[in-house]
Structure 1
Amino acid sequence: MLEDMDFIKSCDVPGPTKEAIRAIILYKSDVKDSENVVDVGCGTGGITCEFAQRAKHVTSIDINPEAIEMTQKNLDKFDLGDNVTLICNDGAEALKDIEDIDIAIVGGSGKQLENILELIDSKLNSKGRIIVTAILVDTKVEAINKLKELNYNPNIMEVNISKGRVLDRGIMMMSENPIAIISAKKR
């Protein structure tokens, strides 16, 4: 796993997804080195970098040009990227041109989550997996409902990682990146 502190960050681009969250996403994805991954809403590229080390190919999408630039900088920093395609475009628009998806990670949808999930479903291989990360309650409900409508059996895990900070009088636990991880396999 890549360490959080090693990523290049920007106050204008979300991310990277915290290391413990990335580890859970990797575990839930059950990624193989023969699989193609799509990362919608890649931000600074934390998830992209992790999957680039493990998958056959990663396609990372973000509408924000600064996010694509940050993802490229992080790929370069970790000497990754030979198997990564970066696309600066709206997630739904970019997905129209992508085929052969084994795993789709949706971390940003620009208010188009239902449309994005429909597109992913139409391009997902027979044993494909979808993982949606969500902070807003509304996004969690929307993702679960859409996945059920598409005939998936979604699972949701609320994750709240806390790290300890040693003080003079004890240890204070500080929460980092509370997030829901919704995972579903194609039936």
Structure 2
Amino acid sequence: MIRDEDFIQSKQVPGPTKEEVRCLVMCKAHIYQEDVVLDVGCGTGGLTVESAQRAHKVIAIDKNPEAVSLTQQNLIKHKLLEKVKLIEGDALSVMTELTSFDVLLIGGSSGDLPQIISQGYEKLNLNGRIVVTSILLETRVEAVETFKKLNMTLDVVEVTIAKGNITDRGTMMMGRNPITIISAVKNEYGNP
């Protein structure tokens, strides 16, 4: 895993996804060398970079041109640019042009989460994985409801992480935002 401080960051673009959360997302995504990964809402590129270290190819999408630029800078910094196709645009529009992929990571949805999951499911290869990271309660509910409608095998994990801040007197634990990781697998028993 790449340390948080090893990413180029900006106050205008969220991210990177914190190191401990990236670790769990990668675990839930089960990315293999031959996989094609689609990262929706790539932000500064934390999950894009981690995915590019594991996958055959990554397609990273964000509506924000500054996010796409930061992701590109981070890919260059970590020598992974050649494995990633960066696209500035709307995920729903971009996904219509894609043939298929093995893993769909959703970190930002601009309020279109059910549609992104459903459209992604159609393009997802058999045994493909979808992983949604959520800080909003409403996003968690939308993801779970959508996965259930698609009859996908579902896993939900809520994570609360505290990092130690070393002081003169001792170590003060500083809590970070709780995050929910909702993952699902497309299996042969899912709805067509």
User: Which category describes the TM-score, using the shorter chain as reference length?
Assistant: over 0.9
> Aligned-pair distance for 1:170?
2.8
Contact 1:157 1:180 in 2 (8 A): yes
Name the residue aligned to 2:113. Answer: 113
CA distance in 2, matches of 1:171, 1:54: 34
TM-score, reference length from structure 1: 0.97
CA distance in 1, matches of 2:4, 2:43: 14
Give SS of 2:14's match.
coil
Name the residue aligned to 1:18. Answer: 18
Contact 1:18 1:177 in 2 (8 A): no
Name the residue aligned to 2:94. Answer: 94
In structure 1, the gaps of 5 or more residues are none
Name the residue aligned to 2:142. Answer: 142
Name the residue aligned to 2:169. Answer: 169
The runs of 4+ residues in structure 1 deviating greater than 6 Å are none
Counterpart of 1:95, as a letter, is M
Residues 21-66 of structure 1: CA deviation (Å, up to 9, x unaligned): 1111111111100000000000000000001111000000000011
Question: Which runs of structure 2 are paired with 1:17-36 in the superposition (5 Å)?
Answer: 17-36=17-36
Name the residue aligned to 1:59. Answer: 59
Contact 1:152 1:185 in 2 (8 A): yes
Counterpart of 1:159, as a letter, is V
Identity of aligned residues (%): 48
Counterpart of 1:136, as a letter, is L
In structure 2, the gaps of 5 or more residues are 188-192
